[in-house]
Amino acid sequence: MHPWLAFICFWKILFGKKVPAELAIAAPVPAPALPPAKPAAEKPAAERPADKPIEKPKVSAGAQHREGALALLAILQREARFVDFVRDSVDGASDADIGAVAREIHRGCSKVIDQYLKLEPVMPGDEGAAVTIPKGFDPAEVRLSGEAKGDAPYRGTLRHHGWRVVDAKLPALAEGVDRTVIAPAEVEL
């Protein structure tokens, strides 16, 4: 088996990408019936709604997400002190103190996202502007609120443009490393 596989599969599963059949056999983690969705990056934005398979992912066991989710948390902690920040109490702290920390957390989190993920709005356009939702839209991509009268197209106001991961180049994870340690205890000698 090529060692890359041991590294890669956790991430594929975490982000719901398809593991090709020939990889799935050799993968260290059993890769059961995963949805035949194409990796998001391969889909040109224009043809997304039309050719998207109707079949939606089946619910998969949480254990498969575990390694990847823990690793992502470790990265956010390492680069942005994310866990420290959300575990700390903000009650009674001044906005200036929180702000000074938030600036650093923001920078670190941005760095992680910039490095590993490419994000773009699901619906480009100004929030607050009038939009038309075409026939055959994907309810997973556009969440309607209020009463939809009749069939699409619908006219409405864009409240949030949404986010889509168009590319995920995530770190490969070595097998056998205990991921439950999000951050090791630091001891200075």
Partner 1 sequence: MTTKIIGIDLGTTNSALAAAGDDEPAHALAIPQVVGPGEVAEQATLPSFLLLPSDQEVAPLQLQLPWSGPLRYCVGTFARDRGAELPHRLVSSAKSWLCNPAIDRTAQVLPFRGAQRELEEAMQGGERVSPVNASARYLAHLRAAWDDAHEDAPADEQDVLVTVPASFDAVARELTVVAAREAGFAKITLLEEPQAAFYAYLAARGDAWRRELAPGDVVLVCDVGGGTTDFSLIEVAEDAGNLALERVAVGDHILLGGDNMDLALAAVVQRELGSTGSRLDAMQQRALVHACRRAKETLLGDGAPDKVPVAILGRGSKLIGGTIKAEVTRAQAEALLVDGFFPSVGAGAKVERRRAAGLRELGLPYAHDPAMTRHLAEFLARFGRMPTAVLFNGGVMKADRLRARVVELVRAWAGRDVRVLEGADPDLAVALGAAHYGQVRRGRGVRIRGGTARAYYIGIESAMPAIPGFAPPVKALCVAPQGLEEGQSVELPDDELGLVVGETATFRFFAAATRKADAAGALIDADADGIAELDPVEKTVEAEGERKPGELVAVRLESHVTEVGTLELWCVARDGRGRWKLEYSVRERE
Minimum separation from the CB atom of position 106 to partner 1 (A): 11
Q: Which is nearer to partner 1, 67 or 133 (CB)?
A: 67
Q: Taking phi first (over 0 means left), then psi (-120 to 50 degrees means alpha), and beta for anything else, what does residue 146 get? A: left
Paired tokens of 13: 């599963």
Minimum separation from the CB atom of position 20 to partner 1 (A): 17
Minimum separation from the CB atom of position 18 to partner 1 (A): 20
Q: How many CB atoms lie within 10 A of CB 142?
A: 18
Paired tokens of 48: 């997304």
Minimum separation from the CB atom of position 30 to partner 1 (A): 21
Cβ-contact 29, 45 below 8 angstroms? no
Q: Which is nearer to partner 1, 86 or 144 (CB)?
A: 86
Q: Which is nearer to partner 1, 4 or 163 (CB)?
A: 4
| Residue 45: burial class (beta carbons within 10 Å; 0-12, 13-18, 19+) | exposed
CA distances from 149 to 47, 65, 136, 143, 146 (A): 26, 39, 15, 15, 9
What span, in angstroms and rounded, lies between the C-alpha atoms of 167 and 117? 6
Q: Which is nearer to partner 1, 79 or 141 (CB)?
A: 79
- What is the number of alpha carbons within 13 Å of residue 96 lying toward its C-beta? 0
Q: Which is nearer to partner 1, 118 or 179 (CB)?
A: 179
Residues that bind partner 1 (CB under 8 A): 2-4, 7, 71, 74-75, 78, 81, 84-85, 87-90, 93, 97-98, 100-101, 103-105, 115-116, 169-174, 176-177, 179, 186, 188
Minimum separation from the CB atom of position 79 to partner 1 (A): 9
